[in-house]
Amino acid sequence: MDYIFYLAIFKVLMLCDILFTPGYGENLDIPLKHPDTSSDLSTWSPNEHGAHPDPDKSRLPIFSVNYPRIQIPFEITLWVLLASFAKIGFHVYHKITVWVPESCLLISIGLIVGGIMHSVHEEPPAVLTSNVFFLYMLPSIVFDSGYFMPTRPFFENFGTVLWFAVVGTLWNSIGIGISLYAICQIEVFGVQDINLQENLLYASIISAVEPVAVLTVFEDISIHEQLYIVVFGECLFNDAVTVVLYNLFNHVAELRVVEAGDVFLGIASFFVVGLGGLLFGLLFGFVASFTTRFTGKVKEIEPLIIFLYSYLSYLIAELFAISSIMAIVTCALTMKYYVEENVSQRSCTTIRHVIKMVGSVSETLIFFFLGVVTITTEHEWNWAYILFSILFALLWRGLGILVLTQIINPFRTIPFNYKDQFGLAYGGLRGAVSFALAFTLPDSIGPKKLFITGTIVIIIFTVFIQGITIRPLLKLMNVRKTNRNLETINVEIHKRVGFTVDIIYVSILNYGLILTFFSNAGLKIIIIILNYNNCLVFQLMEHTVAGIEDLCGQWSHYYWKDKFMKFNNQIIRKILIRDNRPESSIVALYKKLELQNAMEILDSMSGDISSPPSPISSHASKSKKILASDVKNMHELLSKNMYKSRQRTMSHTNKHSLPNDVTAKEILIRRHTSLRRSLRAESFHGPKTSQKFFSLPTGQSLNSRLTPGRFASAGDDDAESEMDYASIRSTFRHPQRSMIPLRRPGNLKKVHSSVNVVDEENEKQRIYRSSRSGSSFTGSAHQITHQPHSFSGNISNKGHGSDSKEQKSFSPPNALKHEPQNNSDVQYPLLRRPQ
């Protein structure tokens, strides 16, 4: 099945190739192929292209082709499409990407396309100019990385990240540059004409490391968090450093004569550029957050605000020639937290999707062009220079990591051991940024061609050889992992749902874990196991450590985190967040679990509908295999309503896919699923408590307890929230929806008390509850027929509901307390009759 689809994709790909390659050929006779097509286009006289379809100009043309008019956007579209097809192709047959990094495949495809173009004497597209790269592609790539940076681990390792990014890149650039300069002095190699400045420029280009391939590997082998985040952060910030250095050396290389004063000015400008970027980023981040405070009524432009501000920060930083990468990354990091609380779920999803989409398309295109350009440009090949640059690139990277780690280790709570250092050093692949920088070198640089060739060789060498071997090597070396290994997870899953899985992705949170795997039914399933205790104890631990640090006068990131959180809660949030209520992560988790309770209601319903009960929702059917039909049913049911709000951001976000894969079927396993039965036993808490609510006391909505209107909106599609931040988006505008999943906690207790009450209002609730408790899983026909109805009623209601009115009906908790029955429609929208 996969194979056929893959073939089909391949055919489409070829078709696409054929479609546009002749497109070039057809126009070969007209001067379209001029490298600077974009600038030439406007100057073209209409005669030239009008003549093409129909030489007879006196009559009104019935059919005309005006290719030049659309050429630029048309070609761009086709390129993007081709790159996207390639990407789809790799992921259809996912086993390829496990062994060969995606960037390798993209380069290979690029090489093939380049080969085809070369054979028909086709020029490479003139799209990748310096401006296109720096104004459009680079910002989208780095914004993507910045926005999806896992914040908590990043700040925990902030010092190390900066150390490696700034000092490491300087070390590499200067080291490689000087050693290459030394090589240039040897006459045998015939490269004496390259002076020191140019060598340094080249060195700064090839010292930018690229995270994509490595991070995917790191994720797959579930490497420990510190290593992951250091590589991620290093790659991100060293882009900034590299670009600064590049501009600096570019300037210096053109000077020809460098005085000592220039060096100091260079160093000074380095700081101005870096810190200036940081400031602009912060400024725009806060302004963007502040703006989203007021976008509540115009949600359709919410995502736009985010993009505009971040792009503006980039452009303005460019304007003042300060580090624009730094600006946009800081902007993304700053606003992410606040913006995501302010905007609606939908906007939040849109923002994430668009960022991811644009970012990955840019990156794909760059790798793709790398392949094409490799074939189609003239190369200047100098064995000695290129081989030595590979050698030095590897050598200085290795040395740099070794030395810099020795320096940073005493400051780290958990030092890097030699295996980690190997991972760091070997993970230094070169990629998109290096290539683009090399390609956009000004022509005034003498050995430009040699530099491009050298850069391409280094990229291909590192991406192919290191990229492919890093996985087996790291596995062989048994680098530290997160303390969950696959076997124990599999045992756990087996215990819970009764099937073993081939886990392909594991992500560990502080208080739970997320697994992605392919079940034997072939469905991609994400399991989230959340754990209250982990969360609670983790918090207790954090507070304790912060307290002890205060006590003995030490302070580290816990201390700063503590201080920042205080400042954040007291000042920043009040300014930036619309309905500001500081919230601890345990409360957020609690609310999420409340949501999931409701999800399980749906799970069990689908179990009723399809005859073999779904094992996920029920303890009783533990041993049954999950059937594809079950999952599908469930998915359909859920996707109509609040299903997707269960998705979580993984703490390790994959660079190439959105944190939560929307296509993934997702099944939730919660520790408490099985609890309800034990809870039913009134004696659970012994004589101490007569009321034992699994969650909230009867008749009190979660709204009344917790901050109103701040649950994750269950009704919104693709609701996403991030565990790290515990930020639950405000859904004040959709109280109806947000109530849906909130199972009134008291109903657990009520199961017993109301079993015998044959009340019109309660009947369905009762049935539902008994089905929850697992005793009557078969369910009655009554139930089966009614629940879908209530579903649809519910859905249709969503559309028309007057938000403000509904909101009022929710907000006074007292009303609910006194008249729970009257409000049961509201409380149990799932169980409501069709209206």
Contact 375, 118 (CB under 8 A): yes
Cβ-based nearer residue to another protein, 73 or 686: 686
Applying CB under 8 A, what is the total number of residues that bind another protein? Answer: 77
**In the block, residue with structure tokens 């190369």:** 379
Cβ-based nearer residue to another protein, 478 or 785: 478
Residue 484 binding another protein, by CB under 8 A: yes
Residue 510 binding another protein, by CB under 8 A: yes
Residue 622 binding another protein, by CB under 8 A: no
Buried b (16+ CB within 10 A) or exposed e, 697-732: ebbbbbbbbbbbbbbbbbbbbbbbbbbbbbbbbbbb
- Extract the tokens encoding 313: 């920060």
Residue 66 binding another protein, by CB under 8 A: no
Cβ-based nearer residue to another protein, 35 or 547: 547
Residue 696 binding another protein, by CB under 8 A: yes
Residue 813 binding another protein, by CB under 8 A: no
HEC string of 169-187 equals HHHHHHHHHHHHHHHHCCH
Minimum CB separation of residue 536 from another protein in Å reads 6
Cβ-based nearer residue to another protein, 633 or 707: 707
Q: Choose the binding region for another protein from 304-312, 373-381, 518-526, 528-536 (rule: CB under 8 A).
A: 528-536
Candidate residues 151, 247, 377, 539; the one interacting with another protein per rule CB under 8 A: 539
Residue 503 binding another protein, by CB under 8 A: no
Q: Choose the binding region for another protein from 25-33, 75-83, 653-661, 693-701 (rule: CB under 8 A).
A: 693-701
Q: Where are the alpha helices (DSSP H) in 570-721?
A: 573-576, 585-609, 628-640, 675-680, 702-705
Q: Choose the binding region for another protein from 103-111, 206-214, 536-544, 782-790 (rule: CB under 8 A).
A: 536-544
Residue 685 binding another protein, by CB under 8 A: yes
Residue 556 binding another protein, by CB under 8 A: yes
Candidate residues 5, 411, 560, 567; the one interacting with another protein per rule CB under 8 A: 411
Compute the distance between CA of residue 286 and CA of residue 339 in angstroms, rounded to an integer.
9
Q: Where are the alpha helices (DSSP H) in 207-344?
A: 212-220, 225-255, 260-292, 302-319, 324-342
List, in sequence order, every beta strand (DSSP E) within 453-608: 502-509, 512-518, 524-530
Residue 625 binding another protein, by CB under 8 A: no
Q: Is 191 exposed, middle or buried (0-12, 13-18, 19+ CB in 10 A)?
A: buried
Compute the distance between CA of residue 820 and CA of residue 817 in angstroms, rounded to an integer.
6
For residues 6 to 45, the per-residue mask of contacts with another protein, x marking binding by CB under 8 A and - elsewhere, is ----------------------------------------
Cβ-based nearer residue to another protein, 146 or 708: 708
Cβ-based nearer residue to another protein, 132 or 565: 565
Question: In 3D, which of 573, 510, 566 has the Cα closest to residue 724?
Answer: 510
Residue 568 binding another protein, by CB under 8 A: no
Cβ-based nearer residue to another protein, 680 or 750: 680
DSSP state of 498: S
Residue 478 binding another protein, by CB under 8 A: no
Compute the distance between CA of residue 337 and CA of residue 186 in angstroms, rounded to an integer.
55
Candidate residues 671, 761, 811, 815; the one interacting with another protein per rule CB under 8 A: 671
- 513 pairs with which residues across the strands? 508, 529
Candidate residues 394, 545, 572, 627; the one interacting with another protein per rule CB under 8 A: 545
DSSP output for 209-249: B--HHHHHHHHHTTB-HHHHHHHHHHHHHHHHHHHHHHHHH
Candidate residues 353, 693, 770, 809; the one interacting with another protein per rule CB under 8 A: 693
Residue 178 binding another protein, by CB under 8 A: no
Q: Considering only residues 781-810, where is the footprint of another protein by CB under 8 A?
A: none
Cβ-based nearer residue to another protein, 91 or 484: 484
Quote the distance between the C-alpha of residue 676 and its chain's center.
35
Question: In 3D, which of 541, 591, 533, 580 has the Cα closest to residue 742?
Answer: 591
The residue type found at 595 is: L
Q: Considering only residues 187-226, where is the footprint of another protein by CB under 8 A?
A: 224
Minimum CB separation of residue 414 from another protein in Å reads 5
Residue 672 binding another protein, by CB under 8 A: yes
3-class secondary-structure state, position 796? helix
Candidate residues 95, 256, 297, 688; the one interacting with another protein per rule CB under 8 A: 688
- Extract the tokens encoding 374: 């490799």
Residue 417 binding another protein, by CB under 8 A: yes
3-class secondary-structure state, position 11? helix
Dihedral class, residue 56 (left if φ above 0, else alpha if ψ from -120 to 50, else beta): beta
Minimum CB separation of residue 350 from another protein in Å reads 29
Residue 508 binding another protein, by CB under 8 A: yes
Candidate residues 322, 513, 527, 626; the one interacting with another protein per rule CB under 8 A: 513
CA angle 485, 232, 269 (to 5 degrees): 160
Phi then psi for residue 430, to 5 deg, are -100, 150
Minimum CB separation of residue 159 from another protein in Å reads 11
Residue 575 binding another protein, by CB under 8 A: no
Minimum CB separation of residue 542 from another protein in Å reads 8
Cβ-based nearer residue to another protein, 370 or 493: 493
Q: Choose the binding region for another protein from 87-95, 276-284, 581-589, 657-665 (rule: CB under 8 A).
A: 581-589
DSSP state of 152: H
Minimum CB separation of residue 534 from another protein in Å reads 5
- Extract the tokens encoding 465: 């050889």
637 contact partners, CB below 8 Å, separation of at least 6: 602, 605, 606, 609, 643, 791
Residue 540 binding another protein, by CB under 8 A: yes
Residue 485 binding another protein, by CB under 8 A: no
Q: Considering only residues 113-152, where is the footprint of another protein by CB under 8 A?
A: none
Minimum CB separation of residue 706 from another protein in Å reads 6
Compute the distance between CA of residue 609 and CA of residue 71 in angstroms, rounded to an integer.
54
Q: Considering only residues 246-285, where is the footprint of another protein by CB under 8 A?
A: none
Candidate residues 64, 130, 544, 611; the one interacting with another protein per rule CB under 8 A: 544
Minimum CB separation of residue 823 from another protein in Å reads 19
Compute the distance between CA of residue 621 and CA of residue 626 in angstroms, rounded to an integer.
10
Residue 675 binding another protein, by CB under 8 A: yes
Phi then psi for residue 512, to 5 deg, are 165, -175
**In the block, residue with structure tokens 């640059």:** 389
Residue 543 binding another protein, by CB under 8 A: yes
Q: Considering only residues 582-601, where is the footprint of another protein by CB under 8 A?
A: 582-584, 586-587, 590, 593
**In the block, residue with structure tokens 């908790």:** 813
Residue 498 binding another protein, by CB under 8 A: no
Q: Is the dihedral of CA 313, 318, 323, 325 positive or negative?
A: positive
Contact 406, 342 (CB under 8 A): no
Minimum CB separation of residue 403 from another protein in Å reads 18
Residue 678 binding another protein, by CB under 8 A: yes
Residue 750 binding another protein, by CB under 8 A: no
Q: Is 379 exposed, middle or buried (0-12, 13-18, 19+ CB in 10 A)?
A: middle
Contact 310, 351 (CB under 8 A): no
Minimum CB separation of residue 643 from another protein in Å reads 23
Candidate residues 26, 300, 550, 803; the one interacting with another protein per rule CB under 8 A: 550
Residue 534 binding another protein, by CB under 8 A: yes
Residue 302 binding another protein, by CB under 8 A: no
Quote the distance between the C-alpha of residue 742 and its chain's center.
29
Compute the distance between CA of residue 688 and CA of residue 774 in angstroms, rounded to an integer.
27
Compute the distance between CA of residue 653 and CA of residue 655 in angstroms, rounded to an integer.
6
Cβ-based nearer residue to another protein, 379 or 671: 671
